[in-house]
Amino acid sequence: MEDHANAHTVIENADALARCRLSDGRYAHTLRVADTAADLARIHNLDEGRARLSALVHDSARETEPEEFLRLAREWDLPIGKPERQSPKLLHGPVAAELARRELGVEDREVLEAVRAHTTGKPGMGPLALALYVADKIEPARDYPSVERLRELAKEDLHMAAAESLRRAIAHNEGRGKDIHPSSREALEWLEADRTPQGGVEQ
């Protein structure tokens, strides 16, 4: 009972954190991702509350200034690679995960991993991280040619939906001459090679 009550409070606090840190538009996106992630969790037998919590937090640091991203990442000892130095907003996942830990007391490693990995993807990401990654790309306001197919795929298989979504993101960025984050390539390679069944033991 107490756990349930705590889960409820932390979700309310995550909602408040997103609300106070984000513009109306991005907060609305956050709520749509939370509903989408909760739907995917129900379909794939994941914990709906944890899916909702990761989604509420995922973009909470998105409206931080570039200098502030780098300052926080240094202060909190978050890894900063070349891509992050060139585009500090890539740090919004890792910084949001730290906000969740520090301001909401979230210690759930899978929730924190999901938040951390939602922008680039990451090899070895667990089912919750896959659900958030995909929910972010297929929430109802997303509109691009393959989105309907991805929505269908997401209901069937989160691994396949995440792989398809990463393929699309990589092709999109290559087409625009933008660098691809190494984690995205590694995540796609991992998804294409590894078919660990959901709920299977993570190595």
Residues that bind Fe ion (CB under 5 A): 59, 136
How many other C-beta atoms can be found within 10 angstroms of the C-beta atom of residue 152? 11
Which is nearer to Fe ion, 101 or 142 (by Cβ)? 142
Which is nearer to Fe ion, 50 or 118 (by Cβ)? 118
Distance CA 141, CA 198 (A): 27
Q: 3-state DSSP call for residue 15? A: helix
Which is nearer to Fe ion, 13 or 30 (by Cβ)? 30
- Please measure the distance between the N-terminal and C-terminal CA atoms of the chain and give it in whole angstroms: 32
CB of 58 to Fe ion, least distance (A): 6
Listed residue (46, 31, 28, 27) closest to 154, CA to CA: 46
CB of 78 to Fe ion, least distance (A): 15
CB of 174 to Fe ion, least distance (A): 20
Please give the C-alpha separations between residue 29 and each of 56, 84, 122, in angstroms, as whole numbers.
10, 24, 22
Which is nearer to Fe ion, 56 or 163 (by Cβ)? 56
CB of 57 to Fe ion, least distance (A): 10
CA gyration radius for the chain?
Answer: 16
CB of 203 to Fe ion, least distance (A): 27
E strand or H helix that includes residue 67: helix 66-75
Q: What is the DSSP letter of 90?
A: G
Which is nearer to Fe ion, 39 or 196 (by Cβ)? 39
Which is nearer to Fe ion, 33 or 106 (by Cβ)? 33
Give residue 6's identity as a one-letter amino acid code: N
For Cα atoms 166, 168, 170, give the angle at the middle one, nearest 5 degrees. 70
CB of 43 to Fe ion, least distance (A): 20
